[in-house]
């Protein structure tokens, strides 16, 4: 089965022209995924002129690979946030994401966007981690989220307990993005080569702008900001099967190796197999999902399979706000963990307010300049140690791959690459860049291809 995302295959987004020469505008947004398009949309509503520059096609990155759950239920997060950041900031995080769910609903209703939006409950379920899940339930109640505890779900397997958030949502992300992007000026196939204080230089012309927004998944500028030291990336996998009974809610298991589940039309999406990018030398992630499909939904038939890449921050909270204290007119939206839909909307709400000089009620907890706290400082030390070790260690490529590739080092900062047999890609364990079997960059922060079998 070829790897193809159902979202991308089921919608055709009309092509947009590349940038045609030099222009001058209020705000330039780098990245035509959900975060970039939503930011442009909210800025336009406030009367700002903006343009979105996309290196490929609209939604061609992670937006087309998500499971598109729209929920403030972000795995086991709230109990930890209360502990590490205090109740006020944890509440800010919860309220921002609850507001994001409602804002999606409101935009969809107002613009009458046909994107299969469905209000539904979101569940976390546990088998072994019942105590941790119950702690999360208590934390959610403390923060004012209308959470419920239940042991009764529609899942075909036994669980010990589940945490339910009502009035969450799910939709078709590419149908939504297609409709919303019609309201926005977007230049596709326009690659940003350099960012300056006054705008960006691209392969198709220059854009002079008062404000610059990085919404391209992983910021490709190393300094200032140093995001490469503050994030790693993870991959996860999705199998979409036909012939399984539909689910009313969206689900995520909190035990290791448990599943993410939702229905999309006649398909059941079964997600899982997460690992740090560059750490899947033996493969087998799709096989695990095939095994789950055969066991719990016998008779179901695979229709699509695809994978996604997520940026993971040191303290588990996205970086949304000013890119760096040294660049007052640069803004960033990154580190969405595995919660790209609500995080994109939260980014759009915060950045559009900040660019317009308005205070946003949620900006503090997401500020890229926040103090990260003691446990996140530990993660920073661990990340730096991991990078140093990967730079020094010999190549982890299998012998047959070593022959094909002229350098086993990543074009970002030179870490040794590994091979992912599930994806047939070269992957960097340091910051998560990926290259296809011909050496072409598929995921940053790397910007340059590597040389494979005579092709560059």
Angle at 415 between CA 372 and CA 394, to 5 degrees: 125
Closest to ligand FES by CB, 309 vs 343, is 309
Q: Which residues pair with 441 in a beta bridge?
A: 435
CB burial of residue 20 (10 Å; 0-12, 13-18, 19+): exposed
Instruction: Kindly write out the interface string for residues 360-399 of this chain, putting x where it contacts ligand FES by CB under 6 A and - elsewhere.
Output: ----------------------------------------
User: Any contact of residue 53 with ligand FES (CB under 6 A)?
Assistant: no
Stretch that binds ligand FES, among 131-139, 153-161, 308-316, 409-417 (CB under 6 A): 409-417
Residue 64: strand, helix, or coil:
helix
Angle at 51 between CA 48 and CA 55, to 5 degrees: 155
CB of 314 to ligand FES, least distance (A): 16
Closest to ligand FES by CB, 15 vs 389, is 389
Closest to ligand FES by CB, 165 vs 435, is 435
* Binding-site member from 200, 274, 292, 410 for ligand FES (CB under 6 A): 410
Contacts of 265 (CB under 8 A, 6+ apart): 116
CB burial of residue 47 (10 Å; 0-12, 13-18, 19+): exposed
CB of 95 to ligand FES, least distance (A): 34
Place of tokens 């999705």: 238
**Joined tokens for residue 343:** 């995080």
Q: Which residues pair with 420 in a beta bridge?
A: 425
CB atoms under 10 Å from CB of 137, counted, come to 22
CB burial of residue 39 (10 Å; 0-12, 13-18, 19+): buried
Stretch that binds ligand FES, among 108-116, 190-198, 306-314, 406-414 (CB under 6 A): 406-414
Residue 119: strand, helix, or coil:
strand
CB of 409 to ligand FES, least distance (A): 8
Closest to ligand FES by CB, 29 vs 311, is 311
Stretch that binds ligand FES, among 177-185, 187-195, 268-276, 423-431 (CB under 6 A): 423-431
Stretch that binds ligand FES, among 88-96, 254-262, 333-341, 407-415 (CB under 6 A): 407-415
CB of 388 to ligand FES, least distance (A): 11
Judged by the rule CB under 6 A, the positions of this chain that interact with ligand FES are: 228, 410, 412-415, 428, 430-433, 445-446
């Amino acid at each position: 089965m070829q790897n193809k995302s159902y979202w991308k295959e089921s919608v055709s987004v009309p092509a947009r022209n590349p940038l045609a020469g030099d222009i001058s505008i209020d705000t330039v947004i780098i990245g035509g995924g959900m975060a970039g398009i939503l930011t442009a949309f909210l800025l336009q509503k406030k009367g700002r002129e903006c343009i979105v520059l996309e290196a490929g096609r609209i939604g061609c990155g992670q937006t087309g690979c998500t499971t598109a759950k729209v929920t403030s239920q972000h795995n086991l997060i709230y109990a930890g946030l209360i502990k590490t950041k205090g109740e006020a900031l944890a509440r800010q995080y919860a309220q921002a994401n609850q507001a994001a769910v409602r804002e999606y609903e409101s935009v969809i209703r107002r613009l009458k966007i046909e994107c299969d939006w469905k209000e539904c409950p979101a569940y976390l379920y546990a088998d072994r981690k019942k105590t941790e899940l119950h702690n999360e339930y208590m934390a959610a109640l403390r923060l004012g989220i209308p959470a419920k505890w239940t042991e009764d779900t529609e899942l075909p397997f036994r669980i010990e307990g589940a945490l339910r958030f009502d009035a969450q949502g799910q939709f078709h992300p590419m149908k939504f993005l297609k409709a919303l992007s019609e309201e926005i000026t977007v230049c596709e196939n326009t690659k940003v080569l350099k960012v300056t204080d006054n705008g960006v230089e691209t392969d198709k012309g220059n854009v002079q702008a008062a404000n610059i927004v990085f919404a391209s998944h992983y910021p490709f500028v190393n300094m200032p900001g140093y995001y490469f030291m503050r994030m790693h990336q993870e991959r996860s996998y999705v199998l979409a099967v036909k012939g399984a009974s539909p689910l009313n809610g969206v689900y995520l298991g909190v035990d290791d190796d448990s599943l993410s589940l939702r229905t999309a039309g006649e398909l059941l999406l079964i997600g899982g197999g997460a690992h740090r990018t560059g750490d899947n030398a033996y493969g087998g992630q799709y096989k695990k999902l095939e095994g789950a499909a055969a066991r719990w939904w016998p008779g179901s038939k695979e229709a699509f399979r695809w994978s996604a890449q997520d940026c993971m921050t040191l303290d588990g909270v996205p970086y949304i706000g000013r890119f760096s204290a040294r660049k007052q007119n640069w803004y960033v939206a990154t580190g969405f963990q595995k919660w790209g839909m609500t995080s994109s909307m939260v980014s759009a709400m915060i950045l559009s307010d900040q660019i317009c000089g308005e205070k946003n009620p949620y900006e503090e907890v997401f500020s890229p300049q926040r103090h990260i706290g003691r446990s996140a400082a530990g993660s920073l030390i661990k990340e730096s140690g991991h990078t140093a070790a990967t730079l020094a260690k010999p190549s982890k490529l299998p012998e047959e791959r070593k022959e094909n590739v002229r350098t086993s080092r990543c074009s970002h900062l030179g870490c040794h690459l590994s091979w992912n047999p599930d994806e047939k890609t070269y992957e960097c364990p340091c910051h998560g860049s990926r290259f296809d079997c011909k050496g072409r960059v598929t995921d940053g922060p790397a910007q340059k291809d590597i040389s494979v079998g005579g092709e560059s």
